[in-house]
């Protein structure tokens, strides 16, 4: 349907615009020009205008952008105007940390289930939800409407569970496991590879050290 393909780079920047606009709203700023915003965000006004115009003309010549309007529109583009039921697979520290992120629910990401393999955890409540056994997952998926699955399981288990998720019609996986999931094209996977992020940091640190040896 949509033919105009929007680049990944643009999409990755949208949530950051959204965050800055939210802060401007908190500061009761009513309007902002691409130039002012570019200074705040350490980017170029040109990029901001180009990015936004992928989705429509949200501004007004001679005026700039209405902060509240732009915030709402970017929210819609990001799909934050609808509820996304989600489940967490893996109730370890990371899974529990994500379960307790208050901001998520505020943005429409509603946690409806949390699962683990460890029988010791069964029935323990996290954010008002009792931890269920992973073996109950297929049944749960058939009985409930779930959009997003968060994978905070170890590598092997994650791979296995990804297959089960796909079989049961899950269309989006937020993957924290250290592997690249092999899923059909119509399943959206967003990876968070924490160790890779830390290695990037380490690279920059090492490079800096090398360049500044006395």
Residue 52 interacting with DNA (CB under 7 A): yes
Among 46, 200, 202, 206, binds DNA (CB under 7 A): 46
First to last CA, the chain: 60
Residue 200 interacting with DNA (CB under 7 A): no
Residue 194 interacting with its own copies (CB under 8 A): yes
Which contiguous run of DSSP H or E holds residue 115? strand 109-116
Instruction: Give the tokens for residue 137.
Output: 């997952």
Residues 50-79 that bind its own copies (CB under 8 A): 77-79
Query: What is the DSSP pairing of strand 125-126 with strand 188-191?
Result: unpaired
Task: Say whether 59 sits in a helix, a strand or coil.
Answer: strand
* Block residue for tokens 């802060």: 23
For the window 146-175, what string marks contact with its own copies as x by the rule CB under 8 A? Answer: -xx----------------------xx-x-
Please state whether 63 falls in left (phi above 0), alpha (psi between -120 and 50) or beta. Answer: alpha
Residues 14-43 that bind DNA (CB under 7 A): 33-35, 43
Contacts of 104 (CB under 8 A, 6+ apart): 98, 111
Whichever of 60 and 144 has its CB closer to its own copies, that residue is 144
Residues near its own copies (CB under 8 A) are: 1-2, 11-12, 14-16, 18-19, 42, 77-80, 82, 84, 92-94, 96-98, 100-101, 103-104, 107-109, 147-148, 171-172, 174, 178, 180, 186, 188, 190, 192-208, 210-211, 213
């Amino acid at each position: 349907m949509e033919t105009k393909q929007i680049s990944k780079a643009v999409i990755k920047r949208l949530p950051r615009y959204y965050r800055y606009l939210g802060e401007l709203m908190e500061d009761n700023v009513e309007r902002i020009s691409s130039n002012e915003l570019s200074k705040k965000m350490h980017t170029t006004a040109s990029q901001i205008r180009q990015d936004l115009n992928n989705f429509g003309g949200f501004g007004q010549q001679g005026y700039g952008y209405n902060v509240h309007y732009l915030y709402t529109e970017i929210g819609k583009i990001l799909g934050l105007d609808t509820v996304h039921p989600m489940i967490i697979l893996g109730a370890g520290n990371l899974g529990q940390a994500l379960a307790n992120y208050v901001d998520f629910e505020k943005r429409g990401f509603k946690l409806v289930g949390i699962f683990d393999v460890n029988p010791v955890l069964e029935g323990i409540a996290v954010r008002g939800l009792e931890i269920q056994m992973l073996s109950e997952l297929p049944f749960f998926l058939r009985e409930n409407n779930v959009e997003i699955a968060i994978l905070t399981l170890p590598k092997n288990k994650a791979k296995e569970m990804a297959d089960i998720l796909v079989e049961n019609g899950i269309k989006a996986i937020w993957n924290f496991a250290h592997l690249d999931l092999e899923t059909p094209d119509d399943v959206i996977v967003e990876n968070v590879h924490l160790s890779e992020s830390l290695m990037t940091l380490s690279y920059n640190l090492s490079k800096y050290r090398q360049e500044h040896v006395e």
